[in-house]
Structure 1
Amino acid sequence: MREVTQDKLNIFIVMFFISLIMRIQIPVFTPYAAAFGASSILIGVIISVTSLSNLTGNLIAGPLVDRFGKKLFITLPLFASGGLFIAHGLAGDSMDLLVLHGLNGFALAFLIPAAFTLLSGYAKNSREQGKNIAINGMLSTIASIIAPLLGGQMVVWIGYANTYFFIGTAMIFTATYSVVFLKDRQVTSVIKHKQGSEGGGILSTPNLPIVYLIAFAVMYIHGVLIFEIPYLTVERGLSTFQTGQLFSYMAIGTFITLSFFFINRFSPFLRLMTGLFGMSMTLFALISDLLQLPVLLFMMGVFFGLIMPAMATSITENAPKAVHGRAFGYMSAIFSLGIIVSSSVTGIIRDTVSPYFVAFLIGMIVLTISGYLKGGISLQKVPT
């Protein structure tokens, strides 16, 4: 038991540092690309290409994680990503950033499904699963609070290029730690072709399409924020440290929600619907300029924290354990798809239509469709 606890602690440590290091670049990348002369449309294209390569990697990663184990697909992507982040600091123009960011997205695509699958294996039931995801979410949120502030300030201290050198080096150190301390305790086996083991079987599982649909809407909204908030650095002349502060408000809200472990007792679907509704209403308040931006981002974080543990729990409850890697791979692919669509649309329409309004519409449409589909599934289960 003590060994299992230590192994789980190592997973939490690795995932915390991954979250911390990756989020350092959130307030850094957009102004860095703009310094090379990249327009808002080109920045949107870069983010979209990165997410597309990430999506492709997610679809490849799932079956490989189920077949060959988790640790391999945690350590190798970390080393690759570290080298690519260092190369960001050596970029000569925006096209270099396009290629490097795209390759990095593909490398990191293998990481998240493997890490979540490894963590899910340490839960005996859905409540413990929810607690593990919540703890990981809290650690990730702490990283979200610290990282944007750190990233914004590092640019002031050492400049853009050296910030990317630091990010890459830190990622390589994390990879080395994972090689030494991370253990792939679960037995891996070749998954035979049977119902539920293939992608089509996963997507035909009654509740999973609803979870994935909500995941798309959530990440679309998240993608709009990731695109728009750093752009304030360019448009309003804010410092990277100030934009980092704005992301930290969102992270604080997420942390508060995740600290309420009793929330995991409620239905995952109820938490997903409530969270998406809250995010959509917060967007409406943002469009209407009803509250200050820091307050609205804090509220967005509160609802985001309600959604993420519920999403992981919904997947482990509805997907067979033997295909958790594929199920989480599809989840990551949907996340990437949401970022692809949001960044592409936002880069094109932001001068004519509010990206927040479009995100609000998508959130409400998905809420309506999800409620309808869930009601249809429930009716099918009622005996006639």
Structure 2
Amino acid sequence: MKKVQAWLINFLAQVSIASSLLFIPLFAKELGASDIEIGLITSFYSLAILTSSGIFGRLSDIYSKKLFLTLGLLLSSFSFFAQCFARDPVQLLVIRTLVGFSIGIFPAALTAYAYKQNRKIGHFTSFGSLGWAIGQLFAGIIAVYCGIFIFGALLFLLSFFMVIREEIPDERIPRSRSTFKIIRENLSVYFAFFIRHTGASAVWLIFPLYLFQLGISKFWIGAIYFANSFLQFLLMPRMDRFNPYLLLNLGAAFSGLTFIFYSLATEIYQFLAIQILIAFGWSAMYVGALRIALEKNIEKSSVVGFLNSTIYLSTIIGSIIGGFIAENFGYSFCFLFGALLSFLVPFFRVRNGAIKSF
């Protein structure tokens, strides 16, 4: 696969994922789901990604990257289309679990291959963020659930046909470390992400519901999400020049500030302005973590897959906690919970692969 096609596949995949994901909480609400049930739907979706990311990231290092790229893209197309047939919260939970498993198959292999091309991981991930921006904007414009799902399915199918015709060399690692050793030697990065993203997931679970409750239309909800992702697209390529450990810690701190400001905002223009903070926070933390993992390890698909699994493990836990907090204390407490955990990350001083507490 040529370098330009690697970022293009990432872009198309993220357009599909983002456009579908944005309105799932609202779609679930309209199907009769409670806040706790929405948390469970999100958690099962994340559990499926967690499982497939770890398994297929590892297998991509041992076997064929192209096999898991094509398999993941094709299954994603079918599962996205299947979302049109959900008629109640249970059916939506089952289909979203299938969606999660499908979209967890290919990203680790794609990221590892893109890194091999020029080692500028910020450039590659920036097009993923651009995909999120376009996907969220299109979701707001389409604003019809089944139309959004079909749109995503077609983009995944297009990506599948682009990949299947390309020659992608298999680079198998003959003496790979054990899974336990890989995780242990990268634990500091995984732990930092786990802490921050647990809090963030509690926020993202209720964020579209919070905006909708404030009277903000679906179009402007999409525009607010678009601003975050488009700013990430602009910022991520610039992150390659900085110390990745500094980026990781700064990203967590800026995330905490964002969640505090979310709890105070009430107007559309305020949320749009705040997106600058979260765009920098996520760009710094994500690019920093990927660079640490990819630069330190030869099992590149494996470490990316385990990082993705860590992110979605925290999404599961954060979504359950977020559903509980929202149901019993209200949406504002979800923001405070997210800020607290984000601010904890710099206090562990993640440096050079080690965790040191103050």
TM-score when normalising by structure 2: 0.91
Shift of 1:191: 4.0
Match for 2:251: what amino acid? G
Shift of 1:375: 7.1
Checking the alignment, whether the CA contact within 8 Å between 1:232 and 1:243 is kept in structure 2 is no
Shift of 1:145: 2.0
CA RMSD of superposed structures (Å): 2.3
Match for 2:188: what amino acid? I
Shift of 1:273: 0.8
Could you tell me which residue of structure 2 aligns to residue 165 of structure 1? Answer: 150
- Judged with a 3 Å threshold, the aligned counterparts in structure 2 of structure 1 residues 83 and 120 are, in CA distance, closer, same or farther, namely same
Counterpart CA distance in 2 for 1:343 and 1:93 is 20
Matched, 1:118 2:113: yes
Could you tell me which residue of structure 1 aligns to residue 334 of structure 2? Answer: 355
Map of 1:298-309 to 2, 5 A cutoff? 298-309=276-287
Counterpart CA distance in 2 for 1:362 and 1:288 is 18
Aligned match of 1:331 in 307, 313, 318? 307
Could you tell me which residue of structure 2 aligns to residue 249 of structure 1? Answer: 227
- Judged with a 3 Å threshold, the aligned counterparts in structure 2 of structure 1 residues 221 and 254 are, in CA distance, closer, same or farther, namely farther
Counterpart CA distance in 2 for 1:264 and 1:170 is 29
Could you tell me which residue of structure 1 aligns to residue 294 of structure 2? Answer: 316
Aligned residues: 352
Shift of 1:295: 1.5
Map of 1:256-295 to 2, 5 A cutoff? 256-260=234-238, 263-289=239-265, 292-295=270-273
Aligned match of 1:40 in 25, 35, 40? 35
Deviates more, 1:12-21 or 1:235-244: 235-244
Shift of 1:289: 4.5
Matched, 1:100 2:76: no
- Judged with a 3 Å threshold, the aligned counterparts in structure 2 of structure 1 residues 97 and 347 are, in CA distance, closer, same or farther, namely same
Shift of 1:376: 6.7
Deviates more, 1:310-319 or 1:94-103: 310-319
Shift of 1:373: 9.0
Deviates more, 1:166-175 or 1:286-295: 286-295
3-state SS in 1 of match to 2:206: helix
- Judged with a 3 Å threshold, the aligned counterparts in structure 2 of structure 1 residues 177 and 222 are, in CA distance, closer, same or farther, namely farther
Rg (Cα) greater in structure: 1
Match for 2:231: what amino acid? G
- Judged with a 3 Å threshold, the aligned counterparts in structure 2 of structure 1 residues 234 and 48 are, in CA distance, closer, same or farther, namely same
3-state SS in 1 of match to 2:127: helix
Could you tell me which residue of structure 2 aligns to residue 188 of structure 1? Answer: 172
Q: Could you list the runs of 5+ residues in structure 2 that have no partner in the other structure?
A: none
Counterpart CA distance in 2 for 1:216 and 1:109 is 18
Shift of 1:286: 2.9
Matched, 1:142 2:130: yes
Could you tell me which residue of structure 1 aligns to residue 160 of structure 2? Answer: 175
Counterpart CA distance in 1 for 2:353 and 2:145 is 47
TM-score when normalising by structure 1: 0.85
Matched, 1:201 2:181: yes
Matched, 1:210 2:188: yes
Deviates more, 1:83-92 or 1:224-233: 224-233
- Judged with a 3 Å threshold, the aligned counterparts in structure 2 of structure 1 residues 376 and 280 are, in CA distance, closer, same or farther, namely closer
- Judged with a 3 Å threshold, the aligned counterparts in structure 2 of structure 1 residues 272 and 307 are, in CA distance, closer, same or farther, namely same
Counterpart CA distance in 2 for 1:135 and 1:114 is 17
Checking the alignment, whether the CA contact within 8 Å between 1:276 and 1:363 is kept in structure 2 is yes
Shift of 1:48: 0.4
Counterpart CA distance in 2 for 1:259 and 1:56 is 29
Aligned match of 2:197 in 210, 219, 223? 219
Checking the alignment, whether the CA contact within 8 Å between 1:25 and 1:151 is kept in structure 2 is yes
- Judged with a 3 Å threshold, the aligned counterparts in structure 2 of structure 1 residues 274 and 234 are, in CA distance, closer, same or farther, namely closer
Counterpart CA distance in 2 for 1:376 and 1:230 is 34
Shift of 1:231: 1.2
Counterpart CA distance in 2 for 1:121 and 1:259 is 16
Shift of 1:237: 4.2
Counterpart CA distance in 2 for 1:14 and 1:376 is 35
Checking the alignment, whether the CA contact within 8 Å between 2:137 and 2:222 is kept in structure 1 is yes
Could you tell me which residue of structure 1 aligns to residue 346 of structure 2? Answer: 367
Shift of 1:220: 2.7
Checking the alignment, whether the CA contact within 8 Å between 1:279 and 1:304 is kept in structure 2 is yes
Counterpart CA distance in 2 for 1:255 and 1:376 is 30
Counterpart CA distance in 2 for 1:341 and 1:313 is 25
* Structure 1 residues 66-89: Cα deviation after superposition (integer angstroms, max 9, x where no partner): 111211111111111111111110
- Judged with a 3 Å threshold, the aligned counterparts in structure 2 of structure 1 residues 273 and 84 are, in CA distance, closer, same or farther, namely same
* Structure 1 residues 243-282: Cα deviation after superposition (integer angstroms, max 9, x where no partner): 111101211332232243xx42321101111111111122
User: Among the aligned pairs, what percent are the same residue?
Assistant: 21
Shift of 1:288: 4.5
* Structure 1 residues 307-350: Cα deviation after superposition (integer angstroms, max 9, x where no partner): 2221111001222x1x2222111101001112111111111111
Aligned match of 1:154 in 117, 138, 142? 142
Counterpart CA distance in 2 for 1:45 and 1:368 is 31
Shift of 1:17: 0.6
Shift of 1:236: 3.4
Matched, 1:69 2:48: no
* Structure 1 residues 47-67: Cα deviation after superposition (integer angstroms, max 9, x where no partner): 001111111112211321111
Q: Could you list the runs of 5+ residues in structure 1 that have no partner in the other structure?
A: 1-5, 124-128, 378-384
